[in-house]
Amino acid sequence: MSFHRGRTSSLASGLTARLAIFIIVIAFLVTPTSWSQADGPDPVLAGSDSALASLAPITSLVAEDNTYDNGNALRLIWVPSIDDRLIDSKIIGYRVYRLAGAGEPRAIAELPPGSNQYLDETVLRDSVYSYYISTLSERAEFPSNRTAAISPQREWINLDRGYLFLIALAIAGAVIYYVTVAKRGKKLFVRKIAGLEAIDDAVGRATEMGRPVLFIPGIHDMDDVQTLAALTILGRVSRTIADYESKIFMPVARSLVMTAGREVIKSSYQAAGRPDAYSDDMVNYITDEQFGYVAAVDGIMVREKPATVFLLGAFFAESLILAETGNSVGAIQIAGTARPAQLPFFIAACDFTLIGEELFAASAYLSGEPRQLGSLKGQDVGKVIAMVVMTVGVIALTFAEAWKIEFMQDILDRLSIIFSTN
């Protein structure tokens, strides 16, 4: 009896084991998805019933041409998924797909949650594109409807910058008006520039003392507008020197500047009726090396002791060295540059300084030519208009902020709407 009980117990254990194995196999076959989720991403395709039930896609996707560009951008705007607003949202971002013509969709960008627009700047003008955007979760993506086909276009005029057009129109009108007035022979008032007014007195002082004039046109070549402005002033200076029968030395750091300087001085002496007094030795090339040139010029100052020194053009670290040396020999110094970093040194060590654009205005100021004077006067009027507009704007906004007046903002909003719609 004991033998049968042991055998029956053994058979029962074997059946139980086989039944357990059978149940496990059935479980794997019946519910493969629930078991596979622990091993990796859900392989559910976007657009299936289970995916659509999980996350809502974006809505109201619109593709439009980006305005005021060269036809190389399209803008996408949409309403984010309603699931994106939830605190515990499972959305990890959006993926933008683009179709070129009848081609296959290609992912071009991935955006963070909360995004509602995208600027595609990789399109080609006159090509046709359509888009759709997929809402991304950790396991799947849920596409939106596709946009209508659209082609980027080029705009030639940016109406958002209408205010710049008005400013340019006002300045251009002022320039044309004053040029016309100057051509009719009417004398235009131009603000006095002390450094240019002092040229005759400075050259006259050198003549009375029997000492030369030293003219330094900076250390840049002829491709620098400051050098060109310096040579313009050189024409007036050398003409005055020729009339006074004084001497001029012009050491240069560029060979082309040497050639141009010689031509300018030669023309001035011919205009003064003294071509025989001109010599090529008045203009000498020193070296292209910055501080080698400075050392040579300082040596000329110490030996020749010029009564007047002109420092006009592009200067760098050598500006203070040259200005201090000229000051040490007792020369009257007239300096000018468009480099803001060097202006403080010239103002401190020189008698007169042409600040910034005064150097460029010298040509019109000294020549008196109607077109140049009219252009200079028109630009000054434009600057006055700009200063008045800025001053009035700052005062108005200050009062509006202090008194909590909102109509100023309404005016600005209305103006921006007018410029944008026109």
Q: What is the pLDDT of residues 108-166, one digit of tens each?
A: 999 999 899 999 999 998 899 999 999 998 888 999 999 999 999 888 887 777 778 88
* Residue with the larger pLDDT of the pair 57 and 396: 57
Residue 367 has pLDDT above 80, yes or no: no
How would residue 184 be classed by pLDDT, with cut points 50, 70 and 90?
Answer: confident
pLDDT at residue number 11: 39
Query: What is the dotted CATH code of the domain comprising 199-350?
Result: 3.40.50
Contacts of 212 (CB under 8 A, 6+ apart): 206, 246, 247, 248, 249, 304, 306, 307
User: How far is Cα 267 from Cα 203, in angstroms, rounded to an integer?
Assistant: 18
**Strand 141-143's sheet: what is its strand order?**
106-111, 93-100, 129-136, 141-143
Mark 80-89 as b/e (b = at least 16 C-beta within 10 Å).
bbebbeeeeb
Contacts of 340 (CB under 8 A, 6+ apart): 356
Least confident range of 54-63, 183-192, 386-395? 183-192
- Average pLDDT on 272-291 reads 94
How would residue 32 be classed by pLDDT, with cut points 50, 70 and 90?
Answer: very low
pLDDT at residue number 405: 60
- Average pLDDT on 190-219 reads 91
pLDDT at residue number 414: 67
* Residue with the larger pLDDT of the pair 116 and 35: 116
Q: The tokens of 18 are what? A: 């086989």
pLDDT at residue number 416: 65
Mean pLDDT of the chain: 83
Residue 13 has pLDDT above 70, yes or no: no
pLDDT at residue number 365: 81
pTM to 2 decimals? Answer: 0.60
- Percent over 90 (pLDDT), the chain: 51
- Average pLDDT on 362-388 reads 82
pLDDT at residue number 190: 78
- Percent over 70 (pLDDT), the chain: 83
* Residue with the larger pLDDT of the pair 76 and 197: 76
Q: The tokens of 70 are what? A: 């060269």
Query: What φ, ψ does residue 350 adopt, rounded to 5°?
Result: -115, 160
pLDDT at residue number 41: 32
Q: Which stretch of DSSP H or E encloses residue 367?
A: helix 357-367
pLDDT at residue number 412: 64
Helix (H, G, I), strand (E, B) or coil at 413: helix
- Average pLDDT on 250-269 reads 96
CB 267 within 8 A of CB 350: no
Question: Where do the CATH 3.40.50 domains begin and end in the chain?
Answer: 199-350
pLDDT at residue number 25: 45
pLDDT at residue number 75: 94
* 49-143: CATH architecture: Sandwich (2.60)
pLDDT at residue number 364: 80
How would residue 311 be classed by pLDDT, with cut points 50, 70 and 90?
Answer: very high
Question: Where does 210-289 have alpha helices with state H?
Answer: 225-244, 255-271
Residue 47 has pLDDT above 50, yes or no: no
- What are the pLDDT digits (tens) for 319-347? 999 999 999 999 999 999 999 999 999 99
- Average pLDDT on 232-236 reads 92
User: How far is Cα 355 from Cα 341, in angstroms, rounded to an integer?
Assistant: 11
Question: Where does 31-56 have alpha helices with state H?
Answer: 32-36, 49-54
pLDDT at residue number 409: 62
pLDDT at residue number 50: 45
User: How far is Cα 128 from Cα 153, in angstroms, rounded to an integer?
Assistant: 11
Q: The tokens of 351 are what? A: 């008698």
User: How far is Cα 99 from Cα 146, in angstroms, rounded to an integer?
Assistant: 9
pLDDT at residue number 22: 55
Residue 48 has pLDDT above 70, yes or no: no
Give the distance from CA 316 to its chain's centroid. Answer: 24
Question: Where do the CATH 2.60.40.10 domains begin and end in the chain?
Answer: 49-143
- Average pLDDT on 191-205 reads 88
Query: What φ, ψ does residue 273 adopt, rounded to 5°?
Result: 80, 20
- What are the pLDDT digits (tens) for 286-302? 999 999 999 999 999 99
- Average pLDDT on 232-260 reads 94
pLDDT at residue number 415: 65
Residue 374 has pLDDT above 70, yes or no: yes
